[in-house]
Amino acid sequence: MTQSFVLPAPAPTCLPVAGSDDLFPVRRIFCVGRNYAEHAREMGNDPDAEPPFFFTKPADAAIPSGLTIPFPPMTQNLHHEAELVVAIGKGGANIDAPDAMEHIWGFAAGNDLTRRDLQAEAKATRRPWDMAKGFDNSAVIGPLHPIAQTGPMTSGAITCTVDGEARQSGDLSEMIWPTADIIAFLSRLVTLAPGDLIMTGTPAGVGAIEPGQTCAVEIAGLSPAEVTFA
């Protein structure tokens, strides 16, 4: 008996590779919370107190750079979060930090868009963050660059501007948990797979974006991740 899908199977979410017509197929999106000390403090937390923690976004929350999108619903306080995005090329579990770079396909600049008001409500009521973090179009991802061209991206300027005005400014070397440690921790919680993306946390200076504005995340050596809100 031939089996067939009862609905059209969804096509994978794919992101462009810089300088190429190739596409990177997205499997899952993991995000690290509070990975820069100054941002942890601005959100009222002690950056020295805890190991890295993770939340997720659906794969189809990822959108490429350069789009104009509807302003997200159900929020009066949409925030930008400039982040280094790690793209996994080789899966694995229990990866040790010294081996982590072998599992990386490449890197991108990203914006972990956050409905901060819904997140604050979730924190206050001890409910999940999903609707604050995992909404449609909530992961703006710039073109991916292969690690063979970028190197390990352990330092370099990371900035966010809104309509050209500086909002966030930091350096990748300020991450509390560097990329290799994040992969080691995360691969003990889940088995990583090719196509997984990891958004590695944001420096201080998060703030609101209004309808009509353009937000750009830039990381030295990578293509920018830009989004405009209708």
Q: How far is the CB of 146 from Mn ion (least distance, A)?
A: 24
Burial of 73 (0-12, 13-18, 19+ CB in 10 A): exposed
Nearer of residues 53 and 210 to Mn ion, judged by Cβ? 53
Q: How far is the CB of 26 from Mn ion (least distance, A)?
A: 17
Give the span between the Cα atoms of 32 and 204, in whole angstroms.
14
Nearer of residues 1 and 49 to Mn ion, judged by Cβ? 49
Nearer of residues 159 and 202 to Mn ion, judged by Cβ? 202
Give the span between the Cα atoms of 139 and 135, in whole angstroms.
9
Q: SS in 3 state form for 48-86?
A: CCCCCEEEEECHHHEEECCEEECCCCCCCCEEECEEEEE
Task: Indicate the residue whose CB is closest to Mn ion.
Answer: 112
Q: How far is the CB of 148 from Mn ion (least distance, A)?
A: 27
Give the span between the Cα atoms of 177 and 202, in whole angstroms.
12
Nearer of residues 30 and 146 to Mn ion, judged by Cβ? 30
Binding site for Mn ion (CB under 5 A): 81, 112, 202
Q: How far is the CB of 175 from Mn ion (least distance, A)?
A: 12
Give the span between the Cα atoms of 135 and 122, in whole angstroms.
14
